[in-house]
Chains A and B, each alone.
Chain A
Amino acid sequence: MKKLKIFIESVLKFMALGGYLIFALIPLYWVLVTSFKGPKELYTFPITFFPKSLDFENYRFLFTFANFGIYFRNSLLVSLGSSLGALIVSVLSGYGLSRLSSKKLSNGILLAMYLTQMIPGFLLMLPLFLMLSKFGMINNLFVLGIIYIDMVIAFGTIMSKGFFDRIPVSLEEAALIDGCGTLEVLYRIVLPISLPAIMAIFSFFFVNIWNELFLAVMFLSSNDKMTVPAALNSFISKAGISWGVMSAGLVVALLPTIIVFAFAQKYIIAGLTEGAVKE
């Protein structure tokens, strides 16, 4: 009886795990299948669940006629550049806040950062757009990159401060007595032992910035400046973009963050759950 019960339980567990897996992978399966379907097969009835032959036409169209190479490059540039910039800025401020001797001051600043976390990016895009267009600073990838830095640094500061708080100050005191400067201590002693946190923060930044849509649509008007999400958004209303080409574009949009997640999963999960669980 007991054996039977264990057997049934493990079958049920296996089925539940399988159910979650299928649900999670459905969109990935379908977007990949669609992206490899030829124009005829795409709109045949009844639909096919697997492409009859791998057709790369959609990808060819995407990178030639639809100029997707440029969008991809723009996205990569902005995401990597902004993530790196934001990482430097927020590691500095996280460390500063963590080591400031006035707890009143550092808690006050921290609260001001928490407050910004409540405000979603799309709420700010209108005033930002009006403000920057006065100075002729729209349709500019560099300016958009600065805004992206602003969007993520509060989070980065909060997270890195939390991490630096747990590094004992005694490690740094010896170096300070030896005459090392504040920056040198950060660079030589604190950062090398903070690599997991830095990996987590950088991955967060990259994922968030790579996926950002609304500001990019509002700020980038010319074709050669668009990022991948903005370009996909313009596909929606563009004639002559089939679901096949769209799917190829979506694969290009989805893959980079999935790859980042695959490699940094351990750090991301550690970063996400940090502080959420009481010890």
Chain B
Amino acid sequence: MSRNLKLFIMVLPTIVLLVIFTYIPIGQEIQIAFENYNLYNLSNIYFNGFDNFINIFTSVDFNFVQIVLNTVIWVVVSLVFQFTLGFGLALLLKKPFKGRGIYSGLVFYPWAVSGFAIGLVWAWIFNGQFGLINGILMRFGIINQGIGFLSDPHIALASVIVVNIWYGIPFFAIMLLAALQSVPEELYEAAKIDGAGRFRRLVNVTIPYIRPTIASTILLRTMWILNFPDIIYAMTNGGPANSTNTLANYMIIKMYSFYNYGQAAAIGFIIMSILMIYAVIYLSIFSRLERGVI
């Protein structure tokens, strides 16, 4: 047997697994999106054209426009703060100091915890009666009645976004810290001689140098946050009054609570389409980046 054939056989288990458990299911997912498929009525599965999509777009209980808006706010606001705070942390950690290793362990650990479990912890922290935040605010006399962080539709989305920011800071800090450490010290020396202050050095030296890392982490993370229902599912499950529902969480609701698999698959199809468009944009931006155009 040739060495190349042996090497190919080593790759085969992965290919087989991915075909059976990823590629074939994607195909089925698309098929189900165009079917009337309800767990309560399994004897009556049939092709129903665009009915699932029409039902989703016209639903009164789950206003689709609101869900899309929530998703956009969820992604953009989380991303902006995750990035800025993560970048700030990376800058603080760039120069070595005593205990930096232990310190970074203590601030980076959120990367490793379950989004669902930590979402539940934060739901308890945000609890309208016995939560930590209300407790502190009352102790200092700032308020005298508990705020319903997760039960007030006006602030529930902001509350879950705070938790998502908390969850995402370490990723950016870790990636950007590594990038910062790759900036050659000579560049700073040269800028110093030219009389550039700290801020000018950041804008004119650091950021241009690590631009590829900035772009790739932001692009990757956008996709990732879009696909991340765990925190919302744990804290509000889209409520109150649909105010924190995003596309990803909406799909879970259709599956877990309504057993309407056809509509769930249709939402999945919408998410997949967004991802596909996004991937094309991502790749074109990335190839420009490689060529140094951006």
* Interface residues in chain A, defined as those with a beta carbon under 8 Å from any beta carbon in chain B: 13, 16-17, 20-21, 23-27, 30-31, 34, 42-43, 45-47, 49, 89-90, 92-93, 95-97, 99-102, 105, 109, 112-113, 116, 118-120, 122-128, 130-131, 146-147, 149-151, 153-154, 157, 176, 181-183, 207, 210-211, 213-214, 217-218, 229, 232-233, 236, 243, 246-247, 250, 253-254, 257-258, 260-262, 265, 268-269, 272-273, 276-279
Residues of B within 8 A of A (CB): 3-4, 6-15, 17-18, 20-26, 28-29, 32, 85, 88-89, 92, 103-118, 120-122, 124-125, 127, 129-132, 135, 138-139, 166, 169, 171, 174-175, 178-179, 182, 210, 212-213, 216-217, 223, 227-230, 233, 248, 251-252, 255-256, 261, 264-265, 268, 271-272, 275, 279
Query: Within the assembled complex, what's the spacing in Å between the Cα atoms of A113 and B25?
Result: 15
Q: Is the CB of A27 within 8 A of B112?
A: no
Q: Closest Cβ of chain B: how far from A185's Cβ, in Å?
A: 10
A46 to B29, CA, bound (A): 50
Q: List 10 A-B contacts (CB under 8 A).
A: A26-B132, A89-B14, A93-B14, A116-B22, A118-B275, A126-B268, A127-B26, A154-B18, A176-B3, A232-B116
Q: Which residues of B contact A182 (CB under 8 A)?
A: 3, 6-7, 10
Residues of B near A102 (CB, < 8 A) are 4
Given A24-B106, A100-B11: 14 more A-B contacts, CB < 8 Å: A16-B92, A17-B92, A23-B166, A89-B14, A93-B15, A119-B275, A126-B32, A146-B17, A150-B20, A181-B6, A250-B120, A276-B179, A277-B179, A277-B210
Decide: A261 and B112 in contact? CB cutoff 8 A. Answer: yes
With A96-B8, A277-B182 in contact, do A118 and B279 touch (Cβ < 8 Å)?
yes
B106 touches A25 (CB 8 A): yes
Assess whether A96 is in contact with B11, with CB atoms less than 8 Å apart: yes
Most buried by B among A26, A102, A119, A247: A119
Instruction: Compute how far the CA of A184 lies from the CA of B276 in the bound complex, rounded to whole angstroms.
Output: 41
CA gap between A151 and B122 in the complex, in Å? 27
The answer to whether A261 touches B105 (Cβ under 8 A) is yes
Chain B residues lying within 8 Å of A49, measured Cβ to Cβ, are 132, 135
CA of A24 to CA of B216 in the docked complex: distance in angstroms? 25
CB-CB under 8 A from A112, the residues of chain B are 15, 18
